[in-house]
């Protein structure tokens, strides 16, 4: 997913109407190459991994009776004797921690883009 995101920063759509924020940093020929990688990676890697991920989660839910899908949606998993239970730590204010992580991640992404573009507005 990281490779797809980084490649997307440098790509230009075939109709030249939309582009990643950093596309101006590379030549037009290089843009075509990076866009090709971006498309190839999406169709041959990500779309191949999505059904594997879905099947694995369904298998855990149906065969192993672990509520992973519910846990992904709610953020909570019922208490049980899981193998990693002794190492697990309960954090205080998990939503605040998640919000701080989101703000830091957004600042890193937009700060990097702003810094690379030299303060120019897109």
Whether residues 18 and 75 fall in one domain: yes
Task: Summarize pLDDT for 72-104 with one digit per residue, the tens.
Answer: 888 887 777 767 777 877 788 888 999 999 999
Whether residues 104 and 67 fall in one domain: no
Helix (H) or strand (E) holding 113: helix 94-116
Q: Say what the pLDDT of residue 20 is.
A: 85
Whether residues 16 and 75 fall in one domain: yes
94-114 CB burial, b ≥16 within 10 A, e <16: eeeeeeeeeeeeeeeeeeeee
On the CB side of 107, how many CA atoms lie within 13 Å of its CA?
A: 6
Which is higher by pLDDT, 65 or 119? Answer: 65
Domain total in the chain: 2
Q: Say what the pLDDT of residue 44 is.
A: 93
* pTM strictly above 0.85: no
Which of 11, 4, 13 shows the shortest CA–CA distance to 48?
4
**Position 112 pLDDT exceeds 60:** yes
Which range marks the domain in which residue 41 is found?
Answer: 2-83
Task: Summarize pLDDT for 34-62 with one digit per residue, the tens.
Answer: 999 999 999 999 999 999 999 999 998 88
| C-alpha span between 116 and 113 (Å, rounded) | 5
């Amino acid at each position: 997913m990281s490779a797809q995101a980084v490649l997307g920063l440098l790509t230009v759509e075939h109709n030249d109407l939309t582009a990643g924020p950093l596309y101006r940093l590379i030549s037009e020929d290089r843009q075509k190459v990076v866009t090709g990688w971006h498309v190839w990676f999406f169709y041959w890697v990500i779309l191949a991994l999505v059904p594997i991920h879905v099947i694995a989660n369904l298998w855990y839910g149906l065969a192993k009776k672990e509520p992973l899908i519910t846990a992904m949606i709610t953020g909570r998993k019922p208490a049980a004797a899981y193998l990693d239970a002794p190492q697990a730590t309960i954090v205080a204010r998990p939503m605040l921690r998640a919000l701080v992580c989101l703000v830091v991640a957004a600042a890193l992404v937009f700060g990097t883009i702003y810094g690379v573009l030299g303060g120019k507005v897109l």
